[in-house]
Structure 1
Amino acid sequence: MPPKPRRLLLAVNPTASFGRHRTIGPQAALRLEAAGYEVTVLEAANFELLRQEVQAAFALGTDGLVVVGGDGMVSLGVNVLARSAVPLGVIAAGTGNDLARALGLPHDDPEVAIDALVEALRRPPQPIDLGLMRHGGLHTWFACVLSAGFDAVVNERANRMSRPRGPSRYTLALLRELATFRPRRYAITLDGVRREQAAMLVSVANTPSLGGGMRIVPEADVADGRFDVFIVHPISRLGLLGVFPRVFAGAHVDHPAVEIVRAERVRLEADDIVAYADGERVGTLPIDVEIVPGALSVFA
């Protein structure tokens, strides 16, 4: 059994969930210190400065990194820790919290999430898979879902919106984009087999959900060594609107327009499509993605 962590980095996003949970970081620090851990709190005026602070603190050595926020903070932590021996802890206090959902952690009550983290620190960390993206000469890791279609367009709009707060923002953004969206032509290569087709939506998923609980691939497993590739074939706007409410329960998978394929390597090509991963903007296609089994350890 690995030694229990003693030194922890605590990275806090003060704007998580639009600032509604700004007290969770200080509460978490106090709770962890009371439990006997040496805690270094990392905060910054913006996300890029925070990323730099976390990277610098990680280089000095630590037994674990805990992020306070949503999947954007998870993305920060994943890209610092991937393929290292240092585990990630998550105190879900954001809008989506989809990695927390996938790990069975509290995702709708940050104070309960603090208690769950303290309990998780007493157990050996668990390995999970990560996705590795290659795009524009860059390598970027993701833990949850890469979106490259209608869902990415919705994400782009949702990130520009300040209201409403919470997951309903994605629902409103979806309804607004639905009025003008058309199917796109894709070239999709799955484990070396290329196909060309029209699609409304293409997602490469490591976890079951995105956007705060939309269970696009309910059977996805973060430790099975494969992606679940979610494809929605051309469908009318009214048809897509009819499928959407079923996604939250994962009850859409038998719809004739829905296809789910498992693969280890995926290449996506299309014009005028911006990809998102873990809610963060990646860039335009083409993009190559591969699953890396056990690339991250988590306190869960």
Structure 2
Amino acid sequence: MNRGTRFAALMALLTALPAQAQAYQSREPLLRVTDPTGDAHGDGSAELPTQPALLPEALDLRSFEVWPRGRVLTFRTEFGTLQNPWNAPGGFSAQTLDIFIGTRSGGESTLADLNLRTEGGGWQYHLRVTGQGAHWAHASEPAGPETPGTGAAGPGVQPESAAPALPPPPQVRTEGGNTLVIDTELPRGRYAYWVTSSVYSPMSAGGVLQPGGSGPFSVRVPAGRAPVPVPLDVLAEEASPQPFNLGQLAPVGRLNDFRPWLLWGLGLLGLTLAAGASISLWRTPREEVLLLPRR
């Protein structure tokens, strides 16, 4: 194999390295957290609505995964099952899924309208997902539908003191009868997550059914307890304190995403090898033609 062929093969290998690294990074999630089965009843005393009748499995969080999708993230949230008592266009309407995301230090410590507070930091972005659609809210904004000119409908014109522009609305689809797949445009990074599951209510401005009351469409709780956390299930590590008794929810995640650094390292390695190969070719002695004197 001559020098030109070797150099072409080397360049082909260097070109393929980033693509191979990109394929590798999609084979496993950046984060996967499982949740116990059969605990979608708040502190243990909450009773689900009877009309429409909701299955406990439809509120029961089973796992939460964060997957890389190029430079952005996809969330996969598994429930016991997906139920659609309100015939929502998304194919599910028993639960309201809330994902709070801490992207940096500081942030909001109140989990929107859920009567829960964060433990171990605060959040900057809030994603609320129902069968009617999904929308983002910033920590400085309410959890309900977006105000005109801001939110998922578009950044609009905002004053300098307004919160940063929100990501575009995510694409939500169901999978396997029990999983919500949420394709976001949230950039990859080291994030903390607070994930909750509440009863969806089409009669509520925020989309969640507040505990209390005695009608058929109510979450019944023992009298005299207030405020009661709104979610019936939360994603929590086994060692976490009981969030329904303390009113505080610890985050999951705090991941350190090293894969972009791997791609940068491969790119720098490729440049180094290419430069080395070029220098080696330039310094290789060339054949000299000797001119013999004429006789």
- TM-score band, normalised by shorter chain: under 0.3
Is the radius of gyration larger for structure 1 or structure 2?
Answer: 2
Larger helix proportion of the pair: 1
Give the structure-2-normalised TM-score.
0.22
TM-score, normalised to structure 1's length? 0.22
